[in-house]
């Protein structure tokens, strides 16, 4: 029996794994965009899809080349968010065009 090892090359921006170094380098050459500086705990307003309204940011991630295949490369290396909808819809994964920023001082506090 002969043992063969498969080498993988990983893009350090989005974490995608590739069979060839060239493919990984191509992925890394794509700049990171749509970083709007939103951090965990910030409020955003969901403007598309389910749970529209205020939401609390739970995390950030970077989309890979494959994400949203119907919109070819639109989300490649863009910053996305996971958020909990304040109105109780649940949790959502948000692409940059699913939300808008909410200034902290206009957030309404419920009594």
Q: Which is nearer to Zn ion, 14 or 57 (CB)?
A: 14
Give the other-Cβ count within 10 Å of 55's Cβ.
26
Q: Give min distance, CB of 111 to Zn ion, in A.
A: 46
Nearest distance from residue 96's CB to Zn ion, in Å? 16
Task: Considering the complex, state which of residue 16 and residue 44 has its C-beta at the smaller distance from Zn ion.
Answer: 16
Which is closer to Zn ion, CB of 14 or CB of 38?
A: 14
- CA distances to 6, 45, 65, 68, 105 from 42, in Å: 42, 10, 27, 25, 12
In the three-class reduction of DSSP (H, G, I as helix; E, B as strand; rest coil), residue 25 is classed as: helix
Binding flag, residue 79, Zn ion (CB under 5 A): no
1-40 residues in contact with Zn ion (CB under 5 A) are: 11, 13-14, 16, 27
Size of the residue set binding Zn ion (CB under 5 A): 5
Distances (CA, A) of 27 to 8, 19, 38, 41, 110: 14, 12, 24, 30, 45
Binding site for Zn ion (CB under 5 A): 11, 13-14, 16, 27
């Amino acid at each position: 029996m002969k043992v063969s090892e498969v080498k993988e090359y990983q893009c350090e921006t989005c974490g995608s794994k590739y069979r060839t170094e060239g493919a990984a380098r191509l992925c890394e050459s794509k700049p990171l965009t749509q970083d709007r500086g939103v951090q965990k705990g910030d409020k955003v307003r969901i403007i598309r899809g389910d749970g529209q309204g205020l939401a609390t940011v739970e995390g950030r991630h970077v989309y890979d080349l494959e994400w949203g295949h119907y919109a070819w490369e639109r989300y490649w290396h863009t910053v996305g968010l996971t958020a909990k909808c304040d109105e109780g819809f649940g949790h959502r994964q948000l692409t940059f065009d699913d939300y808008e920023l909410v200034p902290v001082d206009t957030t309404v506090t419920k009594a």
